[in-house]
């Protein structure tokens, strides 16, 4: 009897599709959600149509502060197949409140630097909008460099009651020159030696709006339009841009929504 049950279990295990047809019923804030539908040709996440690949793959992000349940609507030829609801599990973020700091210790930036920052921000904003048909995002992600985790996703400082923008990636402290690998196969859509805030910066596109960013590099070893795989060294750790010591800032986003890179490694 026991053997029979085992055999049935093995049978089901072998014939399961690689990606579960159904999405989870609950998911953590800051997650990347990857699904596959073998019958839907259109997917709506809340009110937004998202790209569905030829093999039915799709992806979306749950933001750091997202609280409302998410509804995923599956359509074929315009008619409803099903609606799947996902509840959100709240994350505890590291919030640091520091009061009683002397006011305005920061020297104001001169016009030339402000212009440069605006130009560079616009450039990055345009890259975030790119929506390629690649489906590299469905493969597993790796941590791009070895080192000590020195900053986690979502942490935030509140200085004299004023909330600073939350940390949108994972910081990995390592010696200058430590190799950095692509976290997944991707197309290089940005490679720059010296941006004001992020210094040596690379952005890889993994398809359907999923991108990874690598900042403060001492050495950028790739060029735009190059395709890289997980084993490829794309650059080296540094402390360029606005940085207080050598580390890699690694971020992952879907269009404008950043996700927690650590959740991709679980």
Binding site for Zn ion (CB under 5 A): 151, 169, 171, 249
Could you tell me the smallest distance in angstroms from the CB atom of residue 262 to Zn ion? 13
Closer residue to Zn ion in complex, CB, 197/226: 197
Could you tell me the smallest distance in angstroms from the CB atom of residue 179 to Zn ion? 19
CA pair distance 197, 108, nearest whole angstrom:
15
CA pair distance 49, 222, nearest whole angstrom:
33
Question: Is residue 88 helix, strand or coil?
Answer: strand
Q: Are 36 and 57 in contact (CB under 8 A)?
A: yes
Closer residue to Zn ion in complex, CB, 171/185: 171
CB-nearest residue to Zn ion: 249
Closer residue to Zn ion in complex, CB, 128/216: 216
Closer residue to Zn ion in complex, CB, 171/260: 171
Could you tell me the smallest distance in angstroms from the CB atom of residue 256 to Zn ion? 17
**161 DSSP assignment:** T
Closer residue to Zn ion in complex, CB, 24/151: 151
CA pair distance 151, 225, nearest whole angstrom:
30
Looking from the CA of 113 toward its CB, the CA atoms found within 13 Å total 8
78, two tokens: 């315009």
Q: Are 205 and 222 in contact (CB under 8 A)?
A: no
Going from the C-alpha of 260 to that of each of 35, 64, 131, 139, the distances in angstroms are 18, 8, 20, 17
Could you tell me the smallest distance in angstroms from the CB atom of residue 167 to Zn ion? 6
142, two tokens: 């790796």
Could you tell me the smallest distance in angstroms from the CB atom of residue 191 to Zn ion? 19
Could you tell me the smallest distance in angstroms from the CB atom of residue 124 to Zn ion? 15
Closer residue to Zn ion in complex, CB, 154/169: 169
């Amino acid at each position: 009897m026991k053997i029979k049950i085992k055999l049935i279990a093995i049978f089901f295990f072998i014939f399961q599709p690689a990606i579960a047809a159904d999405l989870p019923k609950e998911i953590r804030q800051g997650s990347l959600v990857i699904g596959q539908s073998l019958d839907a040709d259109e997917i709506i996440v809340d009110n937004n149509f998202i790209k569905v690949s030829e093999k039915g793959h799709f992806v979306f992000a749950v933001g750091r502060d997202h609280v409302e349940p998410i509804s995923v609507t599956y359509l074929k030829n315009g008619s409803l197949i099903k609606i799947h609801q996902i509840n959100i599990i709240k994350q505890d973020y590291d919030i640091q409140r520091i009061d009683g700091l002397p006011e305005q210790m920061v020297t104001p930036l001169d016009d030339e630097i402000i212009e440069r920052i605006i130009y560079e921000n616009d450039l990055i904003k345009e890259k975030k909008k790119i929506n390629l048909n690649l489906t590299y995002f469905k493969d597993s992600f790796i941590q791009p460099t070895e080192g000590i985790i020195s900053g986690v996703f979502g942490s935030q400082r509140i200085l004299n009651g004023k909330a600073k923008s939350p940390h949108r990636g994972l910081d990995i402290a390592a010696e200058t020159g430590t190799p950095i690998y692509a976290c997944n196969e991707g197309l290089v859509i940005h490679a720059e030696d010296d941006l004001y805030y992020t210094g040596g910066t690379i952005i890889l596109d993994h398809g359907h709006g999923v991108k990874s960013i690598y900042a403060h590099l001492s050495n950028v070893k790739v060029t735009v339009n190059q395709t890289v795989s997980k084993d490829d060294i794309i650059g080296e750790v540094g402390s360029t841009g606005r940085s207080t010591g050598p580390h890699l800032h690694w971020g992952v986003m879907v269009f404008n929504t950043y996700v927690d890179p650590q959740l991709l490694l679980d």
